[in-house]
Structures are given as structure tokens and as C-alpha cells.
Amino acid sequence: MSKLGLITKGLIKENPTFVLVLGMCPTLATTTSAMNGLEMGLATMFVLILSNIVISLIAPVVPDKVHIPVYIVVIATFVTVLQLLMQAYVPQVYETLGLFIPLIVVNCIVLGRAEAFACKNSVGDSALDGIGIGIGFTLSLTVIGIVREILGSGSIFGWKFIAGDGILAFVMAPGAFLVLGYLMVLFNKLAKR
Amino acid sequence: MAEYLLIIVSAIFVNNIVLAQFLGVCPFMGVSNKLSTATGMSGAVCFVITLATVVTYLINKYFLVPLGLTFLQTIAFILVIAALVQIVEIVLKKISPSLYQALGIFLPLITTNCAVLGVAINVVTKEFTFGDAAHMLNLGEATVYALATSLGYGLAMVLFAGMREQLAQSDVPESFKGLPIAFITVGIMAMAFLGFSGIV
Amino acid sequence: MAAVSNLKNMVLSLTLVCLVCSAILGGVFAMTSAPIKAAEAAKTNASIARVLPDFESEPAKESVTVDGTEYVYYRVPGTGYAIISTVGGFGGPLTLMVGIDEKGIICNTVVLSHSETPGLGAKCQTDASFIDQFKGWDPAAKKLAVTKDGGEVDAITASTITSRAYSAAIANAYSVYLKLGGNE
């Protein structure tokens, strides 16, 4: 696969949200607004790229039977680094995303990429794979966030275009499931063309 | 006693772990195709969440907090959960092969079920208000909360599996087939559960 | 390609990974602990500055127990108190910081954290007509309860429970103030 292909495949062909359907929890929980979705996507991308790089480096020397625990420790380390950095430099973002930052550890996308790609490929390719899938994830989350923010609060990235409230259900839990469901339908429809 | 009742109602209905907190959605979608697998998974999750919460609560209180190592929470908790799942698997295989047959295949999936880590972290970091003033949960409350939360998980899963079995036989438009219609169904279910908010 | 999975290798690699990771984390923790403390302090000071009028002296963090609940508060000598008070709202805990001056008059209130319904109860953070009614409120003269309960607080439309909780949180803060011997 070409280097460019590694980056672009996460957008459509292997889109982590709409095609692989991985990492649903943060996708649903943190997309109450476009900004929140974007921030969550970037946070996940940070962990994804770094863990992909390190895992592709250490994979040849890790005994097969303990590879999962080793990968989890590596991922958890980067998640904790991210937690500490966010608490120190962007405390407000850390507060909004809350529980879902530590939960990146169990995001199936991160461990999934480690297992399916990083442990069998070169460092460079693994980094590109992390970037590609990360961008795909970030974009999906931002799109869901945009739709929910438009419908639920009548604004885009905090810029309000209607006075008053939107359809509140879309900011709340049911809206997350509904928007994701309908966006998947749209994605299926477009992907089939 | 009243407080425990409030915890139970709140954890099962009002703040349902899947429908209101979005934890454990992947396995929720993954194994809710059939009622029988959904029940099996719910049982396994119930067991692991309760056990993991108690163990991580103790580790946090008597090890991480006194040593000032709370920044290692995430890494310590996930390792404990992974180890616990392994132990449960081994023990279950030895003492109850029939139970192992029913739950066994779901156990390896549970390590990466964010519901387990989510509940464990929530219990030691968040303040709760049940009835009166806000406070951190004590061990008894944490156990009840974990058990009730996982029962809520089971409830949502079993209800949803029942619906999905019906759904599989209905005529759904091509693009909606599979997960999209499932997500929309959960959305409507979540709306129904919104009706519980405010009762505790 | 992977190394042989014998016991020695497995234990060795796991131990090694854990050691390296703990070392990295220890390092990052040491590096970030000062900025994290600074960020937290900045947030608290910003809240205190919002609930109390201009002050010059440094706020001192203290705590007191009233009716079995421990309250954290900041004493600003010569100005008043910023008291943190948490009650159960509609969706979960609702935490306020309440500024009370030395005469027992409420200066302002600010929501520190909440889990109220977006667009309804969550308006307690943004609805100016609701928040501003507490500025200059004298709890000794005006009852801190929503009008439905016989008090004088105008509730947020369709969010009586949140408004009730908000009023209760302020009332609690006031009882902390009384306990501190505010009206000397």
C-alpha cells in the first residue's frame, strides 16, 4: 500500500467509526458539540500514533503469550501522559471530556491497530497508519458533533445561528444514538455508489 | 437502607450505563444479536464489574492514595482488570465447567469493555448524591453501585436483544440493515429511559 | 519474529516494560505537577474573583463541618468568604461557589460543576435573570427557597428541581457562614 494510501484509508475505506464501528463509547458520549468531538478525536490520535510507533518497535522482542498485557501497559502509559499534560495545560478540555480520556486505554481502535497493524509493520508505516486512522476518527467525531450541535443547540463550533435552544434531545443521550445511526445509513448509501 | 435503594434505582434506570452514560457500547452492539448470548454476556459482565470495582476500590484506597500515586490509576486499574479476568476464567474452568461454558467465551472480551474500567474509575473519582449531601462512596455503597450498574447493563442488553431478534425478521431498507437500524432502535430506547430522569 | 514464549522471557519483558513505563510516568508526573497545581489554583482564584468583590489579600483555604458535612471555603480577610457547597440536583451533584461578604450578604454565585439537563437545568449556569437575583440577597431577610416552596427565588422555567437545589446550596453556604461566626 502506498504511503498516501495509509493515511487516506482511514477516511472512508477503513473509517473506524462508520465502517469498522470501533470505539463507540467516546464517539457517542463526547460529541455533544463539534468542538468536543474534535478534541476527543485529537486526544485519541495522540495516543494512537505514539502507541503504534512504540509497539512496532518492541513487537519483535515481545514474547507472543504476553503481547496483549505489554501492549496494554504501553497504551495506558501514553494515556496517562496525555491525562497529565491535559490537566496541566488544557484543564478545561480535560474537565469536559472527563472519564473518556482514561477510557482511551480500552478504546478498541487503539489496541485493534496495535494488533492488526503496528506489530507487523515498520515504524514509519505504523506512524502513518496511526495518523490515518486518527484523522478518520477525528473527522467522524467532528461530523457527529457538528450534526448534534446544529440540531441540539442551533450553533456550529459555538457560533449560534438561531436564538434560543435547538432540539434538546440531540444533545442528550438518545440523540447520540440516533445521529450515529442515520449518519451510518448515509455513509452506507454513499459508499455503495 | 433507603440510600441503597436510591443507588440501585439510580444506577439501573436513571443513569443506565449504556443508555445514559455510553459505557460498554461495543460489546452491547456486538453480542446483542441473540437473546441467549446477551444473557450470557450480561452475567459475565455483572460478575467482573462487581469484582473489579471492589478490588480496584481497595487498591486505590490502601495503596495508591497513601503513596500519592493516584496518577497511576488508569494503568493500575486496567492491569488489575486484565489479571482479574484471567483469574476468573481459570477459576471458573476448574470449579464450574457448566458456568464456564456459558460465560467463558465472553470473558476475554471483557478486559476491553470500557464499562468495567469506567465504573471502577467513576467510583473512586466522582462524588455522588443519593438523597442527602454529596460524598465519595464507601466500600459498601461502591459494591452496591457496581452491582446495580451491571444489572442495568444486563437489563438494557436483554431488552435490546429481544428487540433485535424481532428486527432481524422485519423488512428493513437496504442502507439501514444491520448496525444503523440497531443504533436508531437504541436511540429510541434511550429516549424511553430519559423518562426515568429526576425520580431519584 | 516474536521472541520465544518461555517463562523467563515473559517475566523479563513484562517487568522491563512496566519499569520503563513507570519511569516515564514518574518523569512526566514530576514535570507536570507544578503546572497542574498552578492550573487548579488559577481556576479557583478565577471563581473566587467572580463571587467576591475586588480583594487584595490572598484567599486562605480552610474547611469546617456543619451538620455532619464538611465544607471547604476560602477566607478573604476584609472581604468575606467563598464557600463551596454541593447538593443533589436533577441529574447528579450540583456544586456551587457562593460568595458571602462579612455582613452576610450574598455577593455572587458560580457553578463549579453540574450534571443537569442541557437546555433546561443547565441554564443555571447561563440564565442571567436567574443568577443575578442572588446578587445582594440577604438570607436573613429573604427566604432562600423557590416561590413554589414559599420562598422568594424565581425558578428557571421548567427546572424547578434544579432551582430548588441551587437555592438549597446557597442556603447551606449561608449556614456555613453563620457557623463561622459571620455576624459578629
Tens-place pLDDT, residues C21-78: 989 999 999 999 999 999 988 888 888 888 888 777 778 888 888 877 888 889 888 7
- Asked if the model's pLDDT at residue A132 lies above 50, the reply is yes
Residue C92 domain boundaries: 52-179
- Asked if the model's pLDDT at residue A152 lies above 60, the reply is yes
Q: By CB neighbour count within 10 A (0-12 exposed, 13-18 middle, 19+ buried), where does B131 fall?
A: exposed
Q: What is the pLDDT of residues A96-116, one digit of tens each?
A: 888 899 999 988 889 888 888
- Asked if the model's pLDDT at residue B190 lies above 70, the reply is yes
Model confidence band, residue A167 (pLDDT cutoffs 50, 70, 90): confident
Arithmetic mean of pLDDT, A70-93: 92
- State the smallest CA–CA distance between residue C57 and chain B in angstroms: 31
Q: What pLDDT sits at residue A158? A: 84
Would you say residue C44 lies in a domain? no
Beta strand pairing status for A159-160 and C60-66? Answer: unpaired
User: What is the residue type of A74?
Assistant: V
CB-nearest partner of C13 from A63, A95, A166: A63
Would you say residue C4 lies in a domain? no
Would you say residue C8 lies in a domain? no
- Total tally of structural domains belonging to chain C: 1
Q: What is the pTM of this model?
A: 0.87
Q: What pLDDT sits at residue C2? A: 53
Mean pLDDT for all residues in chain A: 89
Model confidence band, residue C101 (pLDDT cutoffs 50, 70, 90): confident
Would you say residue C30 lies in a domain? no
Strand order in the sheet with C80-88: C60-66, C69-76, C80-88, C93-101, C106-113
Q: List alpha helices for chain A, DSSP H.
A: 3-8, 24-29, 34-58, 67-89, 91-97, 108-116, 123-153, 173-192
Contact with chain B for residue C167, Cβ under 8 A: no
Q: By CB neighbour count within 10 A (0-12 exposed, 13-18 middle, 19+ buried), where does B145 fall?
A: buried
Mean pLDDT for all residues in chain B: 87
Q: What pLDDT sits at residue B132? A: 59
CA distance A186 to A178: 12
Q: By CB neighbour count within 10 A (0-12 exposed, 13-18 middle, 19+ buried), where does C4 fall?
A: exposed
Contact A147, A179 (CB under 8 A): yes
- Asked if the model's pLDDT at residue B145 lies above 70, the reply is yes
Arithmetic mean of pLDDT, C100-126: 86
Determine whether the interchain pair B75/C25 forms a contact, defined as Cβ–Cβ distance below 8 Å.
yes
- Asked if the model's pLDDT at residue A60 lies above 70, the reply is yes
Model confidence band, residue B54 (pLDDT cutoffs 50, 70, 90): very high
CA distance B166 to B171: 10
- Asked if the model's pLDDT at residue C184 lies above 50, the reply is no
Which of the residues B10, B71, B145, B191 would you substitute to probe the C interface, choosing the one with the greatest number of C C-beta atoms within 10 Å?
B71
> CA-based angle A183:A188:A190, to the nearest 5?
95
Residue holding cell 509497539?
A55
- Asked if the model's pLDDT at residue C1 lies above 50, the reply is no
Arithmetic mean of pLDDT, B29-48: 85
More confident residue, B200 or B96: B96
Contact B16, B152 (CB under 8 A): yes
